[in-house]
Amino acid sequence: MVAQMLTSWLHRTGEFKVVGCAHTDEQGWRLCKTQCPEVVLLDVGLAGGDGLLLAQRLKRTLPYTKILVVSGREDPYMLYRMQQLDLPGYVSKGIPVETMREAILAVAQGRTYYTEPFERRLQAQDAFFRILTTREVEVMLAATQVHPQSMACKKLRIATGTLRKHLSNIRRKLKLHTNAELVRYALHLGMGL
């Protein structure tokens, strides 16, 4: 419904040319490959896939296409993934249409545009993505989503002792005492998807 309303509004403005609307990551991939749009408005919660994986794929294949994430999700892990992908924009669903217009124009012109909470989280001194290394985030994700730990070691291609050392460092940096606290923290960040 949001995609249909957004498409209809974009047509009515007369300012933007809409080349298509996709509802799944595969439809989005095919549409972008054939149309090579200047800007993609991307929801991270696409049916049948992960919108940020599609963003990663688009960045590799269509480096001149700019991606503006339009989402109701605002968990820290999703925002971290966006930052890792170096996406130029994020707008929360439900913003005024004038804000959406500003965001699209900014991203089309090569500027960045972030609405709250992304901008606020970038400024947070205790944001976990400023504390942990990229590898530590990978370890945290694998260790809190894959059980038993031997499966996490296999996924990460590391020894059990290395996994334990990483988890110890992560807990120390995040001021957590147990792996159970780490799992709860990861779920709070949105890593339990």
What is the pLDDT tens value at each position of the chain, 193 positions in all?
778 888 888 888 889 999 999 988 899 999 999 999 999 999 988 777 788 999 999 999 999 999 999 988 877 777 778 878 889 999 988 888 899 999 999 999 999 998 876 666 655 544 566 678 889 888 988 888 877 888 889 989 999 999 999 999 988 888 888 888 888 888 877 776 4
Query: What confidence score (pLDDT) does residue 92 get?
Result: 87
Beta bridge partners of 17: none
- Name the residue type at position 128: F
Beta strands at 39-42 and 66-71: parallel, antiparallel or unpaired? parallel
Query: What confidence score (pLDDT) does residue 117 get?
Result: 67
Query: What confidence score (pLDDT) does residue 7 get?
Result: 86
Query: What confidence score (pLDDT) does residue 125 get?
Result: 40
Cβ–Cβ under 8 Å, residues 78 and 54: no
Half-sphere exposure of 107 (CA within 13 A, CB side): 28
Report the alpha-carbon distance of residue 102 to residue 17 in Å, rounded.
16
Report the alpha-carbon distance of residue 99 to residue 116 in Å, rounded.
12
Tokens of 165: 């050392």
User: Which CATH architecture best describes the domain 132-189?
Assistant: Orthogonal Bundle (1.10)
Query: What confidence score (pLDDT) does residue 122 get?
Result: 56
In the chain, what are the domain boundaries?
A: 2-123, 132-189
- Cα–Cα separations (whole angstroms), residue 12 to 6, 17, 23, 51: 10, 10, 21, 26
Query: What confidence score (pLDDT) does residue 128 get?
Result: 61
- Look at the domain 2-123 and name its fold: Rossmann fold (3.40.50)
